[in-house]
Structure 1
């Protein structure tokens, strides 16, 4: 579409949604009052005092249309009722967007994109209702703009799924300006939350701090450097943000394995919900406050299956409780996951060179055991290791701050090397004959990788990188062209060809009608492609003559998620 100018004043309410693996949260602010961020803390059928709602979808088993029955706390409540056998509960499906994980298909015959859009639609409908009941009742739905958080470790394709899901869920329309929805990396959002507290922690110009955003599914890390300017504090990335799927749900999975090991063959005679309920009890009562020192006691439900055990004392059952020693919890449940987090932190410290502080945020970031292990391992290298107030809300509150002031972060480090496929002059003796192409205006080499940005290079957020290309006019009719965008994760010099090992096609950049009517058949028509790679999403513009077109990247096989 032809380039439109985005005016933030058209959208006086900034809403942030932190779509998480296990829990999702929301906060908002009025643009005219950017000092106050308001949390949504009341959720339908909420069973515990927690400012987020579970990321759960409930579907009827015999519904061929797979319509969402309910979501969040209510979905969890429904699974405890006798009618639960007629329903299927989807959970932790956000992990399917980590392309490094091997995930089994969803239990409902829908794509991950559809599951996310179903949840976002219901979540958004509720949240808008809550906001409109308050001071926002004088505003319309068209007055909202959105900040949706995504892991820094995700691929560009996975981030694009979130944008498509937001459109499908009705947050924005396809015809809206793309900037009405911002995708924000979770650690960057948390960095802006912590940046507002820098004075409390005595962090100033030139100091560096690490965000370790440890959530339910993923752990994301980035190191930022503070610059104090006349316009206020500004942040720039020092390291390539990275992470892994080693969040707190993996503690739950290890806990389940430990329970299966303890009860052995007896679990075959347990009711189906016994072990999952015990894991839920562990997650709610033991996981957050476990310190690695005290033994823990898991309350067993009243059920005959425990009375039929041959030797309950050998299993560790005492007066209706399962005794879990600190040693076995550390060895079998916590350490396998925590060691992965420590390794990620060490990698960031190695990249950064020096770091004044580490902030642990996210639900898992508030873990007492994780904090003690990080402090024990890194306090000699880093002066301040801290859990800021309300760490579980750091990402969603920070995302609102980004929406209100998107220029606090001034530069980012490119996670990958990006380039496009182009024809370049054929170099005899260097380029293979198979890539030679004859044209009226010369001999060309096809499939050349023309880099826009190299992996590890610093890119300013407002930086626009341009390349000019020429198309041969073969027809009088207007023709659309696609320029293929490629990427590689390899370090070092960019590849020579888009067909090299490790290079993959990422998306198509559609170029609308690049042939001017005045140009002759067989003549070359020039097109300039502007790329903005310093943002959390790659954005492209095509300049054809005196017209500028915003192009939406068309990612390959998004519907396979």
Structure 2
């Protein structure tokens, strides 16, 4: 249910036959990030499999790190050739592609316009097609904050954990910051958790720091100089220096000095603004001005999550309602000491923890999610309402003003209403099945192709689920195609309509099974799985 997800090339080991489980099982996880991406793996045999991050990358020789830059460069002068990650790029690179996976995500006012959308159009193959060509199948999805939780609990298992403990995960990455919260429901024989409130997120990742640094440089040197500087190697090196040194070192000290160099840039000296010999002496206040708009957004997101958790547990009469054990910071931006100190000041009563190796937490957590001996998340919170549009008898008193249509088979007017089967904030148990009843009426003598039905799964993010479908409150999640051509006609019922025509009534259930980060669809008639159903997402 989320566009923010991590891939694991294992369908889950629990469902494998014993003969296969006796062999080495390799679980590979890919964390596709906005600014950096990582890969981790583990051989799933043995009581405590070792989860390993890929640390060596092309173009980053001499550096060992669990992630590589999410950059791609296609050279028009060398058809078929491209560079990626840490390799040297001859032309402009494609970056920030992941942000386009959620086009409805509001862009903060402090982020300049990105070229990512136009960059994406230059890609020769959509990523999903590339994955199929590479043979990556089957693929299991897991939400990034959930993967972060798996990693965090794995690292914290030797700490004092108790049933009823609640904690908040803040996954602060390159593009987005995601919040999720859990409560421990069982310690033995296997650690189990439930999600407490729907997760939230926003575009407050560290990529925004780089964009704001770029704007700060533009304000420093002026538009005319910046026009030429922006295309130079010196500017690229300066951004790298800010990214690798200044961002990681800043702890909030206003009197600390930081230096950023623009080699061979030939910038005009400006001693009043600490720019001399192509070197900008940034003061702590300069860096703080770059950080603070994003920090404030993250603080707001964390505050909202903490308050929602507290209110829910108070409403439930939980004995630990006023206690949240910890806020865990993971992800690249989550490693920032300045961010940690700001959250500690905001939440004096809650411990703020940065688990060791948090930058590579997502990929490792995705691997751990597929290992049977690790923690198990038994339920999630629905982040939206899910349902279908159905027609009901028109009632003048309640449906006044709504568009109606005449049903000739019953001789009555009908109106479109929403039927909701999943409500926002509802607990969704893993492997829980939810049935959506569907009904179609066909005139007798219909052609086989009429037994292919297309229906829309509707979603709404409104606080209260709307009664009627509307562009302002409901959107299409996916289009479901149910194929009943192979179903025995004895399962359908005939009737004579008020118009004297013979109709065939087709009743079937669309069955949704809750999986990590996704929904699996199947089709049932009279409680038995029949026919097929396919889901198409825009």
User: Taking structure 1 as the reference length, what is the TM-score of the superposition?
Assistant: 0.79
Please give the alpha-carbon distance, in whole angstroms, between the structure 2 residues aligned to 1:304 and 1:469: 67
Deviation of 1:378 (Å): 1.1
Superposed, 1:475-554 pairs within 5 Å as 475-478=446-449, 479-492=451-464, 494-499=465-470, 501-513=472-484, 516-518=488-490, 519=492, 520=494, 522-533=503-514, 535-544=516-525, 546-549=528-531, 551-554=533-536
Greater CA drift, 514-523 or 472-481: 514-523
Change (3 A) 1:371 1:419: same
Q: Does 1:70 align with 2:30?
A: no
* Mapped pair 1:44 → 2:58: yes
Q: Residues 534 and 407 (structure 1 numbering): CA distance in 2 closer, same or farther, change over 3 Å?
A: farther
Q: Deviations over 1:198-219 (max 9, x none)?
A: 3444222100011000001110
Q: 1:434 aligns with which of 381, 397, 403?
A: 403
Equivalent positions of 1:192-203 (< 5 A) are 192-203=150-161
Q: 1:393 to 1:282 in 2, by over 3 A?
A: same
What SS class does the counterpart of residue 473 from structure 1 fall into?
A: strand
Give the stretch that moved more between structures: 438-447 or 393-402: 438-447
CA contact (8 A) 2:522 2:529 kept: no
Indicate which of 2, 9, 13 corresponds to 2:26. Answer: 13
Shift of 1:333: 0.5
DSSP-derived class of the 1:187 partner: helix
Find out whether 1:90 has 2:94 as its counterpart. yes
Q: Distance in 1 between matches of 2:120 and 2:279?
A: 39
**For residue 303 of structure 1, what is the aligned residue in structure 2?**
264
Structure-2 residue corresponding to 1:267: 226
In the aligned structure 1, how far is the partner of 2:166 from the partner of 2:187?
16
Contact in 2 for aligned 1:269/1:305 (Cα 8 Å): no
CA RMSD in angstroms, aligned pairs only: 2.7
Structure 1 residues without counterparts, runs of 5 or longer: 79-83, 118-163, 174-179, 557-561
SS of the residue 2:238 aligns to: helix
> Residue in 1 aligned with 2:42?
29
Q: Answer yes or no: is 1:453 the counterpart of 2:466.
A: no
The equivalent residue for 2:317 is none
Report if aligned partners of 1:516, 1:525 keep a CA contact under 8 Å in 2.
no
Pairwise CA distance, 1:460: 1.0
Q: Residue deviations 1:227-251, cap 9 Å, x none?
A: 2254311111111111001100101
Q: Which residue of 1 aligns with 2:121?
A: 110
Question: Residue 346 of structure 2 corresponds to which residue in structure 1?
Answer: 377
| Pairwise CA distance, 1:7 | 4.0
Cα distance in 1 for partners of 2:522, 2:326 equals 39
Distance 1:516 1:549 in 2: 10
Question: Any conservation in 1 of the 2:154–2:375 contact (CA below 8 Å)?
Answer: no
Match of 2:303 in 1: 346
Local SS of the residue matching 1:197: helix
Alpha carbons 1:212, 1:361 under 8 Å: kept:
yes
The size of the alignment, in residue pairs, is 482
Secondary structure of the corresponding residue to residue 392 of structure 2: strand
Match of 1:234 among 182, 192, 195: 192
Distance of 2:250 and 2:54 partners within structure 1: 28
Query: In the alignment, is the contact (CA less than 8 A) between 1:259 and 1:275 conserved in 2?
Result: no
Q: For the structure 1 residues 36 and 21, does the alpha-carbon distance in structure 2 shift closer, same or farther, using more than 3 Å as the test?
A: same
Which stretch of the first structure deviates more once superposed, 100-109 or 182-191?
100-109
Given candidates 377, 390, 393, the residue that maps to 1:422 is 390
Residue 58 of structure 1 corresponds to 73
Q: Distance in 2 between matches of 1:27 and 1:241?
A: 25
Q: Is this contact kept in 2: 1:459–1:534, CA < 8 A?
A: no
Alignment match of 1:258 (pick from 194, 216, 220): 216
Partners in 1 of 2:379 and 2:242 — Cα distance?
A: 41
Which of 308, 317, 328 in structure 1 is aligned with 2:286?
Answer: 328
TM-score scaled by length of structure 2? 0.83
Distance in 2 (alpha carbons) for counterparts of 1:489 and 1:388: 33
